[in-house]
Structure 1
Amino acid sequence: MKITRQAYADMYGPTTGDRVRLGDTELWVQVEKDHTHYGDEVKFGGG
């Protein structure tokens, strides 16, 4: 199964190559390395 980068980020959060804005600032960081093993992503309903 293939999903878009946006769909992946919406479900599991940012991954390698993604840029994330830090809070209410103009500072951005880029994810250089994702230590998650594909298939081990955590997703659950906690509500």
Structure 2
Amino acid sequence: MADNDQRVHVETDQARAGSTPGVGRYVLGASLVLIIVIFAALLLF
């Protein structure tokens, strides 16, 4: 255990303990396109 006066340096990968594949970017893009299509369909019909 580290003392309160010492800084702990941990690499980013170890601190996060996970991966970020970027899937959220594709989900948000697909959702945006889907909402625009739905709103356009509601507006036209």
TM-score, scaled relative to structure 2: 0.23
- Larger-gyration structure (1/2): 2
Higher relative contact order (Cα pairs below 8 Å, separated by 6+ residues): 1
